[in-house]
Amino acid sequence: MNFPKTNTFPKTTMLERSMGPNPLKLCEELLDGSKIPRGSVVLDLGSGAGLTSALMAREYGFVVYAADLWSDPGDNMRFFEGVGLSNRQIVPLKADATALPFASSFFDAVVCVDSYNYFGRDPEYLGEHLLPLVKPGGTLLFSIAGMKHDCHDNLPTCLLESWTPEQLDYMHDMDWWRRNIECTQGVEIIDMHEMACTAEAWADWLACDNEYARGDRAAVEAGALDYLNTIAVELRKL
Protein backbone atom coordinates (compact mmCIF):
# COMPACT_ATOMS: atom_id res chain seq x y z
CA MET A 1 0.00 0.00 0.00
CA ASN A 2 0.96 3.65 -0.43
CA PHE A 3 1.61 5.63 2.74
CA PRO A 4 2.88 9.10 1.75
CA LYS A 5 2.23 10.62 5.19
CA THR A 6 3.78 7.72 7.09
CA ASN A 7 6.83 7.94 4.85
CA THR A 8 7.58 11.47 6.07
CA PHE A 9 8.89 9.79 9.24
CA PRO A 10 12.23 7.92 9.13
CA LYS A 11 11.86 4.17 9.37
CA THR A 12 14.15 4.21 12.39
CA THR A 13 11.60 6.35 14.24
CA MET A 14 8.89 3.73 13.67
CA LEU A 15 11.22 0.92 14.75
CA GLU A 16 12.21 2.73 17.94
CA ARG A 17 8.77 3.99 19.05
CA SER A 18 6.26 1.36 17.88
CA MET A 19 4.43 -0.61 20.56
CA GLY A 20 2.64 -2.95 18.15
CA PRO A 21 1.88 -3.38 14.43
CA ASN A 22 3.02 -0.22 12.62
CA PRO A 23 0.73 2.45 14.12
CA LEU A 24 1.60 5.02 11.46
CA LYS A 25 0.27 2.85 8.65
CA LEU A 26 -2.79 1.81 10.64
CA CYS A 27 -3.54 5.46 11.41
CA GLU A 28 -3.04 6.66 7.85
CA GLU A 29 -5.29 3.95 6.42
CA LEU A 30 -7.89 4.67 9.11
CA LEU A 31 -7.91 8.38 8.25
CA ASP A 32 -7.88 7.82 4.48
CA GLY A 33 -11.05 9.43 3.19
CA SER A 34 -11.94 10.85 6.60
CA LYS A 35 -13.78 14.16 6.56
CA ILE A 36 -12.26 15.44 9.81
CA PRO A 37 -11.17 18.99 8.87
CA ARG A 38 -7.79 20.56 9.60
CA GLY A 39 -7.81 22.43 12.88
CA SER A 40 -10.10 19.90 14.57
CA VAL A 41 -9.44 19.11 18.22
CA VAL A 42 -8.73 15.37 18.31
CA LEU A 43 -8.17 12.93 21.16
CA ASP A 44 -5.55 10.30 20.35
CA LEU A 45 -6.69 7.69 22.86
CA GLY A 46 -4.02 5.20 23.88
CA SER A 47 -1.38 7.18 22.01
CA GLY A 48 1.57 5.07 23.12
CA ALA A 49 4.94 6.59 22.30
CA GLY A 50 3.31 9.32 20.22
CA LEU A 51 3.72 8.19 16.62
CA THR A 52 0.03 8.49 15.71
CA SER A 53 -0.29 11.81 17.54
CA ALA A 54 2.67 13.26 15.64
CA LEU A 55 1.26 12.01 12.35
CA MET A 56 -2.13 13.59 12.97
CA ALA A 57 -0.75 16.92 14.17
CA ARG A 58 1.93 17.33 11.53
CA GLU A 59 0.37 15.74 8.45
CA TYR A 60 -3.37 16.31 9.02
CA GLY A 61 -3.26 19.64 10.86
CA PHE A 62 -5.25 18.49 13.91
CA VAL A 63 -4.80 19.88 17.40
CA VAL A 64 -4.05 16.63 19.21
CA TYR A 65 -4.33 15.57 22.83
CA ALA A 66 -2.13 12.47 23.17
CA ALA A 67 -3.54 10.48 26.11
CA ASP A 68 -1.86 7.30 27.32
CA LEU A 69 -1.59 5.55 30.68
CA TRP A 70 1.76 3.86 30.19
CA SER A 71 3.93 6.36 28.31
CA ASP A 72 5.88 9.29 29.75
CA PRO A 73 4.43 12.65 28.63
CA GLY A 74 7.85 14.31 28.97
CA ASP A 75 9.50 11.78 26.67
CA ASN A 76 6.64 12.13 24.20
CA MET A 77 6.89 15.93 24.23
CA ARG A 78 10.62 15.75 23.48
CA PHE A 79 9.79 13.48 20.55
CA PHE A 80 7.09 15.87 19.32
CA GLU A 81 9.44 18.85 19.51
CA GLY A 82 12.06 16.82 17.64
CA VAL A 83 9.69 16.39 14.70
CA GLY A 84 8.81 20.08 14.65
CA LEU A 85 5.65 20.20 16.76
CA SER A 86 4.84 22.69 19.51
CA ASN A 87 2.55 22.50 22.53
CA ARG A 88 0.03 24.55 20.56
CA GLN A 89 -0.30 21.64 18.13
CA ILE A 90 -0.05 18.67 20.48
CA VAL A 91 -0.48 18.06 24.22
CA PRO A 92 0.78 14.82 25.80
CA LEU A 93 -0.75 13.61 29.06
CA LYS A 94 -0.92 10.53 31.25
CA ALA A 95 -4.54 9.45 31.59
CA ASP A 96 -6.63 6.37 32.25
CA ALA A 97 -9.15 5.70 29.47
CA THR A 98 -11.88 5.33 32.09
CA ALA A 99 -11.07 8.66 33.80
CA LEU A 100 -10.26 11.10 31.00
CA PRO A 101 -9.82 14.66 32.34
CA PHE A 102 -11.77 16.60 29.72
CA ALA A 103 -14.96 18.63 29.61
CA SER A 104 -18.10 17.37 27.92
CA SER A 105 -18.17 17.90 24.14
CA PHE A 106 -14.50 18.95 24.16
CA PHE A 107 -13.41 16.99 21.08
CA ASP A 108 -14.35 17.17 17.43
CA ALA A 109 -13.09 13.62 16.97
CA VAL A 110 -11.47 10.65 18.69
CA VAL A 111 -8.89 8.39 17.06
CA CYS A 112 -7.79 5.18 18.77
CA VAL A 113 -5.18 2.97 17.10
CA ASP A 114 -4.48 -0.53 18.42
CA SER A 115 -5.67 -0.02 21.99
CA TYR A 116 -9.49 0.18 22.04
CA ASN A 117 -9.78 -3.56 22.67
CA TYR A 118 -8.10 -3.15 26.06
CA PHE A 119 -10.85 -0.98 27.55
CA GLY A 120 -13.64 -0.85 24.97
CA ARG A 121 -14.68 -4.48 25.45
CA ASP A 122 -16.80 -3.26 28.34
CA PRO A 123 -20.12 -2.55 26.56
CA GLU A 124 -20.70 0.42 28.88
CA TYR A 125 -17.34 2.05 28.18
CA LEU A 126 -18.27 3.94 25.00
CA GLY A 127 -21.43 5.51 26.37
CA GLU A 128 -20.18 6.23 29.88
CA HIS A 129 -16.58 7.33 29.39
CA LEU A 130 -15.89 8.36 25.79
CA LEU A 131 -18.98 9.55 23.93
CA PRO A 132 -19.75 12.39 26.39
CA LEU A 133 -16.41 14.01 25.49
CA VAL A 134 -17.30 14.28 21.77
CA LYS A 135 -19.32 17.06 20.18
CA PRO A 136 -22.63 16.11 18.55
CA GLY A 137 -21.89 15.09 14.98
CA GLY A 138 -18.30 14.26 15.93
CA THR A 139 -16.37 11.31 14.53
CA LEU A 140 -14.83 8.36 16.35
CA LEU A 141 -12.32 6.21 14.47
CA PHE A 142 -10.93 2.98 15.92
CA SER A 143 -8.34 0.57 14.55
CA ILE A 144 -8.86 -2.60 16.59
CA ALA A 145 -6.68 -5.71 16.70
CA GLY A 146 -9.17 -8.48 16.00
CA MET A 147 -9.94 -11.93 14.70
CA LYS A 148 -11.36 -12.90 11.33
CA HIS A 149 -13.74 -15.21 13.21
CA ASP A 150 -13.91 -15.69 16.97
CA CYS A 151 -12.25 -18.99 17.81
CA HIS A 152 -11.87 -18.85 21.57
CA ASP A 153 -13.58 -22.22 22.03
CA ASN A 154 -10.94 -23.90 19.84
CA LEU A 155 -7.83 -21.73 19.69
CA PRO A 156 -5.43 -22.61 16.85
CA THR A 157 -2.07 -23.81 18.15
CA CYS A 158 -0.24 -21.13 16.14
CA LEU A 159 -1.81 -18.39 18.28
CA LEU A 160 -0.67 -20.13 21.45
CA GLU A 161 2.94 -19.97 20.29
CA SER A 162 3.10 -16.39 21.60
CA TRP A 163 -0.07 -15.63 23.56
CA THR A 164 -2.11 -17.16 26.36
CA PRO A 165 -5.88 -17.72 26.09
CA GLU A 166 -6.30 -14.81 28.52
CA GLN A 167 -4.34 -12.49 26.23
CA LEU A 168 -6.27 -13.66 23.19
CA ASP A 169 -9.54 -12.83 24.92
CA TYR A 170 -8.75 -9.18 24.08
CA MET A 171 -9.31 -10.02 20.39
CA HIS A 172 -12.71 -10.53 18.77
CA ASP A 173 -14.26 -10.48 15.31
CA MET A 174 -16.25 -7.79 13.55
CA ASP A 175 -19.67 -9.20 14.50
CA TRP A 176 -18.67 -9.19 18.17
CA TRP A 177 -17.60 -5.55 17.98
CA ARG A 178 -20.76 -4.56 16.15
CA ARG A 179 -22.88 -6.07 18.93
CA ASN A 180 -20.70 -4.38 21.53
CA ILE A 181 -21.14 -0.92 19.98
CA GLU A 182 -24.83 -1.32 19.19
CA CYS A 183 -25.49 -1.49 22.95
CA THR A 184 -24.72 2.24 23.16
CA GLN A 185 -27.36 4.88 22.55
CA GLY A 186 -26.48 8.15 20.85
CA VAL A 187 -23.97 6.80 18.35
CA GLU A 188 -24.27 5.61 14.75
CA ILE A 189 -22.05 3.03 13.08
CA ILE A 190 -20.98 4.56 9.77
CA ASP A 191 -18.61 1.79 8.70
CA MET A 192 -16.84 -1.35 9.87
CA HIS A 193 -14.39 -3.23 7.67
CA GLU A 194 -11.22 -5.29 7.70
CA MET A 195 -8.15 -3.13 7.19
CA ALA A 196 -5.90 -3.80 4.21
CA CYS A 197 -2.53 -3.07 5.80
CA THR A 198 -2.62 -5.70 8.57
CA ALA A 199 0.10 -8.00 7.20
CA GLU A 200 2.33 -5.06 6.29
CA ALA A 201 1.88 -3.44 9.71
CA TRP A 202 2.73 -6.72 11.43
CA ALA A 203 5.84 -7.20 9.29
CA ASP A 204 7.07 -3.75 10.33
CA TRP A 205 6.42 -4.56 13.99
CA LEU A 206 8.30 -7.87 13.85
CA ALA A 207 11.31 -6.02 12.44
CA CYS A 208 11.54 -4.01 15.69
CA ASP A 209 14.30 -5.01 18.07
CA ASN A 210 12.44 -5.24 21.36
CA GLU A 211 11.32 -8.10 23.57
CA TYR A 212 7.62 -7.71 22.74
CA ALA A 213 8.14 -7.85 18.99
CA ARG A 214 10.49 -10.80 19.39
CA GLY A 215 7.89 -12.55 21.52
CA ASP A 216 5.23 -12.17 18.82
CA ARG A 217 7.34 -13.65 16.03
CA ALA A 218 6.72 -17.30 16.85
CA ALA A 219 2.96 -17.03 16.44
CA VAL A 220 3.11 -15.02 13.23
CA GLU A 221 5.71 -17.34 11.71
CA ALA A 222 3.45 -20.29 12.61
CA GLY A 223 0.50 -18.77 10.70
CA ALA A 224 -1.31 -16.52 13.19
CA LEU A 225 -2.26 -13.95 10.54
CA ASP A 226 -4.52 -16.55 8.94
CA TYR A 227 -6.76 -15.97 11.95
CA LEU A 228 -6.07 -12.36 12.97
CA ASN A 229 -7.04 -9.09 11.33
CA THR A 230 -7.42 -5.40 12.12
CA ILE A 231 -10.91 -3.91 12.22
CA ALA A 232 -11.60 -0.31 11.22
CA VAL A 233 -14.58 1.30 12.91
CA GLU A 234 -16.11 4.69 12.08
CA LEU A 235 -18.79 6.08 14.38
CA ARG A 236 -20.72 9.34 14.51
CA LYS A 237 -22.11 10.85 17.68
CA LEU A 238 -25.77 11.72 17.23
Kindly report, residue by residue over 145-203, the tens digit of the pLDDT: 999 999 999 999 999 999 999 999 999 999 999 999 999 999 999 999 999 999 999 99
What is the pLDDT at residue 27?
98
Walk across the sheet containing 90-94 and list its strands: 90-94, 63-68, 41-45, 107-113, 134-147, 228-237, 187-194
In degrees and rounded to multiples of 5, residue 220 shows phi and psi of -65, -40
What is the pLDDT at residue 128?
98
Q: Where are the domains of the chain?
A: 6-237
Are 45 and 112 spatial neighbours (Cβ–Cβ below 8 Å)? yes
Kindly report, residue by residue over 60-100, the tens digit of the pLDDT: 999 999 999 999 999 999 999 999 999 999 999 999 999 99
pTM over 0.95? The answer is: yes
Residue 206 banded pLDDT, cuts 50, 70, 90: very high
In degrees and rounded to multiples of 5, residue 202 shows phi and psi of -65, -40
Residue 1 banded pLDDT, cuts 50, 70, 90: confident
Mean pLDDT of the chain: 98
Residue 30 banded pLDDT, cuts 50, 70, 90: very high
What is the pLDDT at residue 33?
87
Q: What does the alpha-carbon distance between residue 205 and residue 169 come to, in Å, rounded to a whole number?
A: 21
**What are residue 147's DSSP bridge partners?**
228
Q: What does the alpha-carbon distance between residue 137 and residue 238 come to, in Å, rounded to a whole number?
A: 6
Report the share of the chain in percent with pLDDT over 90: 99
What is the pLDDT at residue 23?
98
Beta strands in the chain (DSSP E): 41-45, 63-68, 90-94, 107-113, 134-147, 187-194, 228-237
Give domain 6-237's CATH number out of 3.40.50.150, 3.40.50.920, 3.40.250.10, 3.40.50.1970: 3.40.50.150
Kindly report, residue by residue over 42-60, the tens digit of the pLDDT: 999 999 999 999 999 999 9
